[in-house]
């Protein structure tokens, strides 16, 4: 994999301030990687994002985009920003128009795309965040959670190569948070480099392949999450906590004389490691497209009537909204957990997520659990 971004000794202070918000920060980000950006309030996460997008120009040090130093000229910045989309923590800071669809179209129109292309992107983005029925509604009538989704749609419509999400799940209810993580995974599968900053350590522990820790304006750590969490003192100093699954795995493994590795990161992996499962339940995974989903559902469920069902991905969820579904959210983990418990399930999913399901299967295998998986 190649490097998409690099910071080299970047130092930044706000006007007239003697305190460096970023001080000699260096970091390399791989193209297509799933990144968690963690740190206490005030560590410099948001400033780091503004520096990546060229909003702030560092006083010293260099930001490289695809190996080239960022040029702080109009052209240079336009180039950079057509690649990078940011979802700010507070959606009200990035709402520009009064109607939902106008607001989502704002970015793509500024890129100089033709109207048809813009229209298509807006429709798709709104559907991805389940806001299609609100397209013509004034933004001020929407709730905080809904405005957040509109902001996410606006970023999706830019078709960015790099997606930066600053606290994307803050203020959202648990199911909406799961939807956001599904979208982040989808972007990853489309080849987008995704950076998520969040205080919800449990949610990103399940998802990220690279964990980056910011402390006092520096990169304190960048690598595999467990290498950081195994140093409890350091975690504590950085104002963070260890994920609950990590803690429980560490303690039970120690008590039972097992190796903590392989590290379970979610419920199905944890229960597979410690549950003493005998025989896997069967998971039938059905990749569906939006148009054919209902037909597929009826066909499959005729034979498997009464089996537990799950959906993963916004297309499947939308298409099957009238059907009986047991697991509407976080269904990959839920169906594999059922399998660990020896129960059968059917998972209807957007076909783009095939690698995610295979990744889950392989991870369970490395823990010693051979899931009975059928992909159709």
Partner 1 sequence: MAGTLLEADHINYSYSRKGPKVLDDMCMKIEEGKKTAIMGCNGAGKSTLFSVLNALYKPDKGQVLFRGKPLTYRHKDIIKMRSEVSILFQNPNDMMFKPYVEQDVAYGPENMRLPKEEVQQRVQEALFAVGMEDYAKSPIMKLSYGQRKRVTLAGVLAMRPSVIIMDEPTAGLDPQMAYEVMEIAEQMHSSGVTVIMSSHDTDLTYSWADELRVLHGGKCMYSGEPEPFYSDYESVQKAGLLLPTVFMMNRTLAGLGREELTPYPRAQSQLSLKTAQHKDVNLGALHVIKAERETDIKAIIEDYDLGGMATGVYGMSARFAVRNTAMPVDYLYNGPENCTMKCLSGQDAVLICDPMMLDKAISSAMFINEHGFGKINIDVV
Residue partners of 231: CB distance under 8 A and separation at least 6: none
If binding is defined by CB under 8 A, does position 359 make contact with partner 1?
no
If binding is defined by CB under 8 A, does position 351 make contact with partner 1?
no
Q: Which residue lies nearer to partner 1 by CB, 191 or 276?
A: 276
CB of 350 to partner 1, least distance (A): 20
Which of 244, 292, 351, 366 is in the footprint of partner 1 by CB under 8 A? 244
Q: Which residue lies nearer to partner 1 by CB, 240 or 320?
A: 240
If binding is defined by CB under 8 A, does position 271 make contact with partner 1?
yes
CB of 172 to partner 1, least distance (A): 7
366 half-sphere exposure, CB direction, 13 A CA radius = 13
> Alpha helix locations (H) across the chain?
45-52, 74-83, 100-110, 115-128, 144-156, 174-189, 201-207, 225-229, 232-237, 244-255, 267-274, 293-303, 314-319, 331-340, 354-367
Span 214-233, contacts to partner 1 by CB under 8 A = none
If binding is defined by CB under 8 A, does position 239 make contact with partner 1?
yes
Binding residues for partner 1, rule CB under 8 A, total 52
Residue partners of 341: CB distance under 8 A and separation at least 6: 271, 275, 277, 281
User: What is the per-residue binding string for partner 1 in 165-204, x denoting contact by CB under 8 A?
Assistant: --x--xxxxxxxxx--------------------x-xx--
Residue partners of 209: CB distance under 8 A and separation at least 6: 33, 34, 35, 224
- In angstroms, rounded to a whole number, what is the distance separating the alpha carbons of residues 26 and 266? 31
CB of 140 to partner 1, least distance (A): 13
Q: Which residue lies nearer to partner 1 by CB, 175 or 231?
A: 175
- Tell me the window of 25-33, 108-116, 152-160, 275-283 that interacts with partner 1 (CB under 8 A): 275-283
Q: Which residue lies nearer to partner 1 by CB, 72 or 236?
A: 236
Helices (H) and strands (E) in the chain, counts: 15, 14
User: What is the per-residue binding string for partner 1 in 83-102, x denoting contact by CB under 8 A?
Assistant: ------x-------------
Q: What's the first-to-final CA gap in the chain, in angstroms?
A: 30
- Tell me the window of 23-31, 36-44, 50-58, 75-83 that interacts with partner 1 (CB under 8 A): 36-44
If binding is defined by CB under 8 A, does position 274 make contact with partner 1?
yes
- Tell me the window of 142-150, 212-220, 293-301, 355-363 that interacts with partner 1 (CB under 8 A): 142-150
Question: For residue 125, what are its two tokens?
Answer: 């983005």
CB of 249 to partner 1, least distance (A): 9
If binding is defined by CB under 8 A, does position 364 make contact with partner 1?
no
Q: In what order do the strands lie in the sheet with 22-30?
A: 22-30, 3-12, 60-65, 68-69
If binding is defined by CB under 8 A, does position 144 make contact with partner 1?
yes
Phi, psi of 256 (to 5 degrees): -95, 5
Helix H or strand E encompassing 195: strand 193-197
Which of 61, 260, 262, 275 is in the footprint of partner 1 by CB under 8 A? 275
Which of helix, strand or coil describes residue 33?
coil
Which of helix, strand or coil describes residue 4?
strand
- In angstroms, rounded to a whole number, what is the distance separating the alpha carbons of residues 195 and 187? 11
Q: Which residue lies nearer to partner 1 by CB, 81 or 265?
A: 265
Question: Rule CB under 8 A: which residues touch partner 1?
Answer: 39-42, 89, 143-146, 167, 170-178, 199, 201-202, 236, 239-241, 244-245, 247-248, 251-252, 254-257, 267, 270-271, 274-277, 326-330, 337, 340-342
């Amino acid at each position: 994999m190649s490097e998409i971004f690099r910071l080299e000794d970047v130092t930044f202070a706000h006007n007239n301030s003697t305190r460096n918000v970023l001080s000699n920060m260096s970091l390399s980000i791989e193209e297509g990687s799933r990144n968690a950006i963690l740190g206490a309030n005030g560590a410099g996460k948001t400033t780091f994002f503004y520096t990546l997008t060229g909003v702030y120009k560092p006083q010293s040090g260099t930001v490289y985009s695809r190996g080239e130093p960022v040029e702080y000229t109009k052209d240079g910045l336009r180039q950079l920003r057509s690649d990078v989309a940011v979802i700010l923590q507070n959606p009200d800071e990035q709402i520009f128009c009064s109607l939902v669809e106008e607001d989502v179209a704002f970015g793509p129109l500024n890129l100089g795309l033709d109207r048809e292309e813009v229209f298509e992107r807006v429709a798709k983005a709104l559907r991805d965040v389940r806001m299609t029925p609100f397209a013509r509604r004034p933004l001020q009538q929407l709730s905080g959670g809904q405005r957040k989704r509109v902001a996410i749609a606006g970023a999706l419509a830019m078709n960015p190569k790099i997606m930066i999400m600053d606290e994307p799940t803050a203020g959202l209810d648990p199911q909406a948070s799961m939807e956001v993580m599904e979208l982040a995974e989808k972007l990853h599968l489309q080849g987008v480099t995704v950076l998520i900053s969040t205080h919800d350590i449990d949610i990103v522990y399940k998802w990220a392949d690279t964990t980056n820790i910011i402390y006092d304006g520096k990169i304190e750590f960048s690598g595999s999450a467990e290498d950081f969490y195994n140093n409890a003192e350091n975690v504590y100093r950085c104002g963070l906590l260890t994920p609950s699954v990590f803690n429980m795995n560490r303690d039970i493994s120690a008590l039972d004389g097992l190796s903590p590795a392989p590290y379970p990161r979610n419920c199905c992996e944890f229960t597979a490691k410690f549950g003493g499962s005998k025989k896997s339940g069967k998971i039938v995974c059905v990749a569906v497209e939006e148009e054919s989903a209902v037909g597929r559902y009826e066909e499959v469920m005729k034979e498997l009537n009464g089996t537990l069902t799950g959906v993963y991905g916004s297309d499947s969820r939308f298409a099957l909204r009238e059907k009986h579904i047991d697991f509407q959210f976080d269904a990959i983990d839920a169906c594999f957990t059922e399998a660990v418990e020896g129960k059968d399930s059917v998972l209807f999913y957007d076909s783009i997520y095939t690698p995610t399901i295979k990744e889950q299967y392989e991870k369970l295998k490395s823990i010693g659990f051979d899931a009975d998986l059928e992909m159709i």
